[in-house]
A and B are shown apart, each in its own frame.
Chain A
Amino acid sequence: MSARYGMVIDLDRCTGCGSCMVACASENNVPSLPHATARTGITPMLVRKVSNGHEGSQQREAFIPILCMHCEEETPCVHVCPQQAVEVDAATGIVMQMPQRCLGCRYCMTACPYHARYFNWSDPKWPKGMETSLNPGVATRMRGVVEKCNLCHSRLHAAQEKAAAVGKREIDPADYVPACVEACPTVAIQFGNLADSNDPVTRESRSANSFRLLAKIGTEPKVYYKSKEAWVRALAEPNSTASGTLHTAASASMEEHHG
């Protein structure tokens, strides 16, 4: 009865356009922070660039959308939060972050292996009048709280309400499509219920070309990636023997940040 919402992201299809990033920010009322840096920006969906490490015309790049992986097992952020501001929702499997409970200790940001959590260093500001363009389905946050992807819970709410209005208990899957999934021009991001064995996403997640990032640490993320290209699959594990490398500007700054 209860769902486990997850994704399979086809890295062969991702062109690094960033539509998912902009659509996510728009849906979740994330302010634009043009004076932020790659470390202080708020990007609940973030696309990173990786390279196969070759030189010249043999060089290839791939783009990896990183969002909250909605870990199921020993969820790190849930474990460390002193405020119980995040919990794994029993009915949907969504790791729900509640900024209104958060006290801003940022322990969860340290705990998250995927760096998928972002801190509001200041109160969100929009130019005068722009607040009329905010999405009514999502509450704005204040400074001092952590936020992250909640799998577009406002769209889940809308789907639940629509189903309830006709007396149904189960939502229509076509009504619950997260913003990034809807925005992707190449349909690289597929979203579905991993608890449903008939869901195409469940089948994709079990294919030979599917992998998860940092699967070895055992948090059981529900976001899968897949690629036909072996060098991309090899990047999933640190210290891999593949010829690919995660050395990009993004990871370089991550290394200097986290030591």
Chain B
Amino acid sequence: MKFSRRDLLVWSAGAAAGLVLTPVPWKLLDDTSIWSQNWPWIPQPTRGPVDVRQSNCTLCPNGCGLRVRMANGYPVGIAAKTNEPLTQGALCPLAFGAHQLNWHPLRLRSVRHRGVDSSFEEARAAFAKACTEGPIVVIDGFPGRASSAILESFGVKKGEYRVVWGAETRALASYEEWSGVPAALGYDLENTRTILSFGAPLLDGWGIPGRFARRWAQSAGSADPDVRLIQVEPSLSRTAARAWQWVTIRPGSDSALAAGIARVLIEERLVAARSPMPPMTLTDAASQTGLDSNAIRELARAIVAQAPVVAIARDCNPAVAALNVVLGAVGARGGIVQKSKSVRSMASAEDAFPSARAVLIDSSVPWEFVPETSAEVFRFAAWDGGSSKADWLLPAPGFLEELTDIPTAPTSGVESYAIAPALAKAPHTTQSGWQFLAAVDPSLDTPEKVIHSRCAELFRNRRGTLHTSEETPLAKIASAEKLEEQLSQGAIWIGEPARRNSFHCELKEWPADSAPASSAEFPAAWSPPVLPPLASKLYEESNLRGTTQGRTA
């Protein structure tokens, strides 16, 4: 029997009819549609339970408390620690995307020696050799931490320990200088009723971001707010746009305005104490700032109308500091207060160190800081900020990848202490500055040991309160171990409020230096060279802030 073409066609027709009567077409349709929605290259979130752990942000010295949602051992969401007296349960916008920083494309993953891939062994060998040949300078960007104590003990033994101060700390430097003794100072913002801010972005990342913003918010928009924010700035920044009053001056004329205001305050006897008269006349101040003489007079009267008043500069500005002395804000309630008696002065990394054989820069130092030196530079960093003069680029642990502690924030009016546990595993290809040094000098402490002894000391001193969901005076804590355990689980220790009038400084004459004002730029104290990827929502993907000049990607 020959099987012809017609037979084949008839057979196919039968098969087609039969196929329709089977599940094949319908099942294939269903399955292919599912297949087309499950492309393997679209990442899926992990499947697993979510639990919440506490730690602190380490991306600027303010160390805001975090509640971190974790899934499968990795952070998947960030929120503020609520009921925290310092942050008031608020963070800066960058914190919410910070957990993605550890996978930033610019994350440093291997040791590089002058642009060529190398290894920690070679770096250690080179460093050990350098140690035998001359002094080593250790530079720290976030002094006061447990690892800072380790860096310092090495630096002191083998050369020098230097510190990079941020703008917020520099702004407080003049008072310390004029008092003649080292002092840890801060602002008593909780009791201030008028703030004259010279370009300090008080509502946009200055100090502990939530601290002032929360207080300001309570009477925001009112014609007669509880705290009057007067923003002195050449351009309309976020803070100026929402301030009670915006005073627009020519760029760089902050010191002239401070001098002009001080003159009016003294001449019109608007202030009580005797103070040195600034040499600048009101007319000069007016012409330099671009304001009317009358406007400066009005401003001077306005700022003393609702006391206490304090002037806050964005960076070091002796004229603004002198204005605070004239206003009587130094050592006063609502002004500049001393939060700790015991403080050692630390040498700045900006001062030269000509005889150094090698320099070790901790990952907390901002990438923009490049020391003036021809010594061999060992630069620790978690992210690559671009071209670098460092001889060695050493990958450091990233965000929430190592245990650390949080010393008192630079602008805070009270002492504080918190422990920030590691919440994610640091890649094995990274090492901290202190770990690197420990390989050269095994007698060095570890952060765990330093934190342990700090908790013991806090417990011994019996001062201050421990804040969890309640406040417990330290006298009621059972033991140093209990204190350390609570701190590791998210509690924060707050010192006693500064006693009024405990800090004095003398000003014999108006300061001659006038530091140039820097333009307000967000973020204020952020130290990594990259921003969290999701910051693109604020910069590129919207009109809210403008571009980051490539810092997000």
- Is there a contact between chains A and B in the complex with CB atoms less than 8 Å apart? yes
- Cβ–Cβ contact A15 & B222, under 8 A: no
B75-104 Cβ-contact flags toward A at 8 Å (1 or 0)? 111111000000010111111110110111
- Cβ–Cβ contact A187 & B214, under 8 A: yes
Residues of chain A at interface, number, CB under 8 A: 74
With A132-B72, A140-B45, A185-B210 in contact, do A12 and B220 touch (Cβ < 8 Å)? yes
- Cβ–Cβ contact B214 & A142, under 8 A: no
B197-229 Cβ-contact flags toward A at 8 Å (1 or 0)? 000000111000110011011001111000000
- Which residue of chain A has the shortest Cβ distance to B76 in the bound complex? A135
- Which residue of chain A has the shortest Cβ distance to B104 in the bound complex? A127
- Cβ–Cβ contact A15 & B72, under 8 A: no
With A26-B77, A185-B213 in contact, do A140 and B241 touch (Cβ < 8 Å)? no
- Cβ–Cβ contact A34 & B45, under 8 A: no
> Which interface residue of A12, A23, A30, A184 has the most chain B CB atoms within 10 A?
A23
Number of residue pairs A-B, CB distance < 8 angstroms: 233
Give chain B residues whose Cβ lies under 8 Å from the Cβ of A229.
221
Give chain A residues whose Cβ lies under 8 Å from the Cβ of B537.
18, 21-22, 25, 30, 32, 41, 43
Give chain B residues whose Cβ lies under 8 Å from the Cβ of A19.
91-93, 95-96
CB within 8 Å of A: which of B460-513?
none
- Cβ–Cβ contact B79 & A183, under 8 A: yes
Give chain A residues whose Cβ lies under 8 Å from the Cβ of B545.
18
* From A100, A126, A142, contact of B39 by CB (8 A): A142
Binds A, one of B412-420, B451-459, B527-535: B527-535
User: Complex formed: what's the CA distance from A82 to B140 in Å?
Assistant: 60
With A34-B552, A36-B540, A228-B222 in contact, do A61 and B241 touch (Cβ < 8 Å)? yes
- Which residue of chain A has the shortest Cβ distance to B202 in the bound complex? A15
Cβ distance B96 to chain A, nearest Cβ, rounded Å:
4
Residue B440 at the chain A interface, CB threshold 8 Å: no
- Cβ–Cβ contact B533 & A34, under 8 A: yes
CB within 8 Å of B: which of A15-49?
15-19, 21-23, 25-27, 29-30, 32-38, 40-43, 46-49
- Cβ–Cβ contact A136 & B50, under 8 A: yes
* From B42, B46, B216, B220, contact of A136 by CB (8 A): B46
Give chain A residues whose Cβ lies under 8 Å from the Cβ of B79.
23, 182-183
With A15-B242, A26-B97, A228-B222 in contact, do A46 and B542 touch (Cβ < 8 Å)? yes
Give chain A residues whose Cβ lies under 8 Å from the Cβ of B80.
182-183, 185
Residue A134 at the chain B interface, CB threshold 8 Å: yes
User: Complex formed: what's the CA distance from A133 to B95 in Å?
Assistant: 14
Residue B35 at the chain A interface, CB threshold 8 Å: no
CB within 8 Å of A: which of B507-553?
532-545, 552-553
User: Complex formed: what's the CA distance from A12 to B220 in Å?
Assistant: 5
Grouping DSSP codes into helix (H, G, I), strand (E, B) and loop, the A interface class, with mixed when no group exceeds half, is: loop
- Cβ–Cβ contact B91 & A142, under 8 A: no
With A57-B247, A135-B77 in contact, do A26 and B96 touch (Cβ < 8 Å)? yes
User: Complex formed: what's the CA distance from A185 to B220 in Å?
Assistant: 13
Can you give 16 A-B contacts (C-beta < 8 A)?
A: A18-B544, A19-B95, A22-B96, A34-B533, A34-B536, A38-B541, A43-B537, A46-B542, A127-B105, A132-B46, A133-B76, A140-B42, A179-B77, A182-B80, A188-B217, A227-B221
Q: Which residues of B line the A interface, CB within 8 A?
A: 37, 39, 41-48, 50, 69, 71-72, 74-80, 88, 90-97, 99-100, 102-105, 203-205, 209-210, 213-214, 216-217, 220-223, 236, 238-239, 241-242, 245-248, 532-545, 552-553
A-B pairs with lowest CB-CB distance, top 9: A41-B541, A12-B221, A185-B90, A131-B43, A186-B217, A61-B241, A32-B533, A134-B45, A130-B103
In the complex, given contacts A133-B99, A134-B43, A250-B542, what are 16 additional A-B residue pairs having Cβ atoms less than 8 angstroms apart? Answer: A11-B221, A15-B203, A16-B204, A16-B241, A19-B93, A19-B96, A21-B93, A22-B97, A32-B534, A35-B540, A43-B541, A57-B245, A61-B242, A63-B544, A127-B533, A183-B80
